[in-house]
Amino acid sequence: MTFDQTILKLIMDASLIVKAVMLILVLASLASWTLMFIKRSQLSKAEKRLEIFEDRFWSGISLNKLYSDLANRTDREGMAAIFFNGYHEYARLNKGETPRLLPVTDTAQRAMRVAETREMDKLEQNLSFLATVGSTSPYIGLFGTVWGIMNSFISLSEMKQATLAVVAPGIAEALIATAIGLFAAIPAVIAYNRFSDKVDRIGIRYENFREEFTTLLERQAILTKDKA
């Protein structure tokens, strides 16, 4: 019998509770790996869109032209959405469509902050699942291990002659639950830390852009006021 066959036999011979624990951990691992691939693609696209928009924004293009181009699109995301919401509010107030209770740039920045929060929420979505898998899987596996070892010792107490060969299979099948728990937890923790760092870095770039764009709007508002 090979090592793989031995492991499979131990799993098949495990008690119902231990099997249920193993199944939960396997499903959690599959779900976390699926989420990892989805999140990796999402963050990569977000970084790419950010780079493209920044290059275009700082290329010297007219703000009105950039705003008009984005107005015709329905897929505004990330920094483009922050810019669009801020400039939309700035342009609307400059036209005098609504009374000004606050400076134009303050109102525009509030609109950008709301858009930024919305975009960050998209990036952070489901990250808590990875954190949950990473923090709870070892304990779920440990529960299966404790249950399996407990059953082994209960069986041992009912035998007249106790040997290591009698309890070893039960203990081995119980330890498999801990191994599966670690297999589910370790990648989830690594992915969570990596993705959280990427989200934080993107968030910092959003915030920096919002502040820089607000400064540009303040300058533009001063020039418009002087011309008037």
Among 88, 117, 121, residue whose Cα is nearest residue 213: 88
Q: How far apart are CA 190 and CA 26, in angstroms?
A: 18
pLDDT at 34: 96
pLDDT at 22: 85
Sorted by sequence, the CB contacts under 8 Å of residue 103 that are 6+ apart come out as 221
Q: How far apart are CA 36 and CA 185, in angstroms?
A: 13
Tokens of 187: 């990648």
pLDDT at 46: 93
Q: How far apart are CA 207 and CA 118, in angstroms?
A: 13
Tokens of 195: 């993705």
Which residues of the chain fall below pLDDT 70? 1-5, 7, 10-11, 13-14, 96-103, 156-170, 223-228
Query: What's this model's pTM, rounded to 2 decimal places?
Result: 0.81
Instruction: State CA 13 to chain mean position distance.
Output: 37
pLDDT at 79: 92
Among 209, 163, 225, residue whose Cα is nearest residue 53: 209
Q: Among positive and negative, which fits the CA dihedral 116, 118, 121, 122?
A: negative
Burial class (CB in 10 A: 0-12, 13-18, 19+), 111: buried
For Cα atoms 104, 90, 114, give the angle at the middle one, nearest 5 degrees.
Answer: 90
SS (H, E, C) 21-89: HHHHHHHHHHHHHHHHHHHHHHHHHHHHHHHHHHHHHCCCCCHHHHHHHHHCCCCCCCHHHHHHHHHHH
The three-state secondary structure class of 158 is coil
- Residue-level length of the chain: 228
pLDDT at 100: 52
Tokens of 160: 């007249």
pLDDT at 103: 67
